[in-house]
């Protein structure tokens, strides 16, 4: 029977891998997710045959509560709130790992048998990683939901305190290895892990949350893997490693897209710094060209090609459907429409793609940075909606700019640029955008949703 269960876990792991492989294309992705879920079901059913399990009622109670809550969350969540949702899910994964470690520790400490060293090390690792993942994710989700202020919370000796917490947590684990027992010490270690999770996330600003969510995603995988070490289960280790790897890759992608080192995101307290002022006067003297919906619609309606560059401002204005509507009208007039998606356009990796997919934009029109950048030169009009830093040519041209070196969408290379913007206020980082003063750029001020609706009705009139 034990062999049968182990084989079932292997089947589950294979299904997870095949499922992830099928995420390589939007056409096969849904099927891949289904296969992955089947793998999970096989693993759960197989575990019910585990001989260590003597009663099922509590498993059923916990499982029903969890399933109901999970299903409700998945149904109710808005697509704009997806980063919080993923954050909360990460947290529950970490919390489960921490609880399993605590339960195993408690049971073994009652038997009076000395813990084998490798089990003990695994338990302490699971406690630390699981605890940090749980509390860190909840704080990150709170910041994203704006229950907790998004600005970085910084104070003196913060990093030193974090280091002390980490060393103390590990030190307690080491002490418990030599001198088993001491439930008080084990509880203190759990508390310390939770405090450390909070401390690691509060100094990070709201704009950096995409990186944090990716990192915590990775931790939730590592937490599952450490649980696998605690109960010596291969299935858990393989699955945890897969998720850990996924989180690490996404963290790297996000850091590269923001032109920041990993250490800088974790310790920088970015967003607390006041943006480097720079020389705005030279730019402002060049003046801007303001346009009306009527003129802009004319430009759009008689273009051959259009690229839309959306930013998070689009999602904030809830204007995805208006963009799609305008694009539909233009396509009927023979304009080719593409969407240029910067990796940090949304609030988590791929977020903007999901928001546009929700508005029924076909995924074949969504292009990432590397694919779309060579296209701008050949494009008649670019429509920038609610994006700022990710289209700022200063990232290429001004070595003094704080965003210098960040990969951007080269929208300034297109023949004409229309920027939809609320006002001339510089963005979150306080960096002036050269694009707005470019002679090819036309500014259409106002709420993105209203501007897009106005553009659509003007295009209809043409």
Ranges within 210-229 binding another protein (CB under 8 A): 213-214, 217, 220-221, 223-225, 227-229
Residue numbers 116-145 binding another protein by CB under 8 A: 116-118
Least CB distance to another protein at residue 369 (A)? 8
Least CB distance to another protein at residue 134 (A)? 9
Residue numbers 347-376 binding another protein by CB under 8 A: 348-351, 353-354, 357-358, 360-364, 366, 368
42 touches another protein by CB under 8 A: no
Integer Cα distance of 318 and 338 in angstroms: 19
Among 4, 58, 155, 157, binds another protein (CB under 8 A): 58
Among 195, 245, 283, 288, binds another protein (CB under 8 A): 245
State the catalytic residue, choosing from 328, 371, 380, 389.
Answer: 389
237 touches another protein by CB under 8 A: yes
Among 59, 177, 276, 424, binds another protein (CB under 8 A): 59
Least CB distance to another protein at residue 455 (A)? 19
Judged by beta carbon, residue 153 or residue 243, the one nearer another protein is 243
Least CB distance to another protein at residue 171 (A)? 20
Least CB distance to another protein at residue 258 (A)? 14
Judged by beta carbon, residue 43 or residue 443, the one nearer another protein is 43
188 touches another protein by CB under 8 A: no
Among 37, 154, 174, 272, binds another protein (CB under 8 A): 37
Among 147, 232, 284, 424, binds another protein (CB under 8 A): 232
Among 233, 322, 441, 451, binds another protein (CB under 8 A): 233
19 touches another protein by CB under 8 A: yes
**Radius of gyration of the chain measured on its C-alpha atoms:** 26
**Known catalytic residue at 447:** no
Q: How many positions of this chain bind another protein (CB under 8 A)?
A: 121
106 touches another protein by CB under 8 A: yes
Residue numbers 83-102 binding another protein by CB under 8 A: 85-86, 89-90, 92-93, 95-97, 99-100, 102
Residue with tokens 């808005």: 78
67 touches another protein by CB under 8 A: yes
462 touches another protein by CB under 8 A: no
Which residues are catalytic, by number?
389
């Amino acid at each position: 029977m034990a062999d049968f269960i182990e084989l079932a876990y292997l089947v589950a792991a294979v299904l997870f891998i095949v499922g992830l492989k099928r995420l390589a294309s939007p056409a096969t992705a849904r099927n891949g997710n289904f296969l992955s879920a089947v793998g999970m079901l096989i693993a759960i059913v197989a575990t019910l045959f585990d001989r260590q399990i003597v009663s099922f009622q509590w498993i059923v109670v916990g499982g029903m509560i969890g399933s109901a809550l999970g299903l409700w969350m998945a149904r109710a969540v808005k697509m704009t709130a997806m980063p919080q949702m993923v954050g909360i899910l990460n947290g529950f994964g970490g919390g489960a790992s921490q609880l399993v470690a605590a339960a195993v520790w408690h049971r073994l400490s009652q038997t009076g048998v000395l813990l084998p060293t490798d089990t003990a090390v695994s338990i302490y690792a699971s406690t630390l990683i699981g605890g940090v993942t749980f509390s860190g994710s909840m704080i990150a989700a709170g910041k994203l939901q704006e229950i907790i202020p998004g600005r970085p919370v910084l104070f003196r000796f913060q990093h030193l305190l974090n280091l002390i917490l980490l060393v103390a947590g590990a030190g307690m684990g080491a002490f418990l290895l030599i001198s088993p027992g001491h439930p008080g010490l084990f509880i203190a270690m759990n508390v310390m892990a939770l405090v450390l999770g909070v401390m690691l996330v509060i100094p990070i600003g709201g704009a950096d949350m995409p990186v944090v969510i990716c990192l915590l995603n990775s931790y939730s995988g590592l937490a599952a893997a450490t649980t696998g070490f605690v109960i010596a289960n291969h299935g858990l280790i393989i699955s945890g490693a897969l998720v850990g790897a996924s989180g690490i890759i996404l963290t790297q992608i996000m850091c590269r897209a923001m032109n920041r080192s990993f250490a800088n995101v974790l310790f920088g307290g970015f967003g607390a710094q006041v943006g480097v002022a720079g020389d705005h006067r030279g730019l402002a003297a060049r003046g801007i060209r303001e346009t009306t919906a009527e003129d802009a619609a004319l430009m759009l309606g008689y273009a051959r090609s259009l690229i839309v560059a959306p930013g998070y401002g689009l999602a904030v204005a809830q204007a995805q459907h208006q963009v799609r509507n305008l694009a539909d009208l233009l396509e009927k007039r023979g304009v080719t429409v593409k969407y240029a998606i910067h990796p940090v356009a949304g609030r988590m990796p791929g977020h903007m793609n999901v928001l546009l997919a929700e508005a029924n934009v076909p995924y074949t029109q969504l292009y990432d940075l590397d694919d779309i950048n060579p296209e701008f030169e050949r494009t008649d009009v670019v429509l920038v909606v609610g994006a700022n830093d990710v289209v700022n040519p200063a990232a290429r041209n001004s070595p003094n700019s704080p965003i210098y070196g960040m990969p951007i969408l080269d929208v300034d290379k297109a023949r004409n640029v229309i920027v939809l913007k609320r006002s001339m206020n510089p963005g979150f980082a306080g960096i002036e955008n050269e694009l707005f003063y470019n002679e090819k750029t036309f500014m259409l001020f106002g709420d993105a949703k209203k501007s897009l609706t106005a553009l659509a009705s003007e295009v209809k009139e043409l």
